[in-house]
Structure 1
Amino acid sequence: MQLFFIILGMAIVTFIPRLLPVFIMNNLKLPAWGNKWLKAIPYAALGALIFPGILTVEANLPIVGLLGGLAAILLASLKLQIIYIVFGSIGTVMLLKFFMLQ
């Protein structure tokens, strides 16, 4: 029974910080620059999460991951669907690893 209350307590503690911004942002009017800044946060967070992984694709050859990331950027600039971008960058990394590690 104690485990149930621990799990319930953790659920409440993590739910409150997720629920509060919904009510706060609903009643808060931000200036135009504030909305623009908030819309850019997901892109910055995504870049911060992805970039370290790009550098560690191949420990001895970080250029492999960088070129795979560059392939993803080029494919995204062509406005392709996300699945083609993912497969294109994975394919680039696989080909580079195959030819550079031989």
Structure 2
Amino acid sequence: MKHDIFLYILVMTAVTLAIRLLPLTLLRRPIKHRFLRSFLYYVPYVTLAVMTFPAIIEATQTPAAGAAALAVGIALAWYGASLFQVSAACCFVVFLVEFIFVS
């Protein structure tokens, strides 16, 4: 039973390394296909959005507070506010909405 954990860790390490190293070894030339380049350009942004969106809604006491903060954050980022300004405003919106609705 104790050796199973080490086997699981070994398999997980092999899979992780294979996922990261295979593209580096197989793709040595620059990618010229326009669709593939544009697809790969947006992958980090989509991954970040998929990871953070559920946390935005579920991290607050009420989903309305998370949704309001998300709307304010998108609006401020759209108009060029800095990352600190956006995060501070989102925290303030969550505090304000939860103070109004939870109290």
TM-score by length of 2: 0.74
Matched pairs, number:
99
What is the one-letter code of the residue matched to 1:85? V
> How does 1:68-87 map onto structure 2 within 5 Å?
68-87=69-88
TM-score (norm 1): 0.74
Q: CA RMSD in A?
A: 2.5
Residue identity (%) = 26
2-side partners of 1:101 and 1:45: how far apart?
32
1:33 aligns with 2:35: yes
Distance in 2 (alpha carbons) for counterparts of 1:49 and 1:76: 19
2:48 aligned partner: 46
Structure of higher RCO (CA pairs closer than 8 Å, 6+ residues apart): 2
User: Which whole-Å deviations, capped at 9, do the CAs of 1:29-65 have from their partners, x for residues lacking one?
Assistant: 3311211111111121111111111221334x21110
Match of 1:22 in 2: 24
Q: Could you tell me how far 1:13 is from its partner in structure 2?
A: 5.1
Match of 2:68 in 1: 67
Q: For residue 10 of structure 1, report the CA deviation from its aligned partner.
A: 6.0
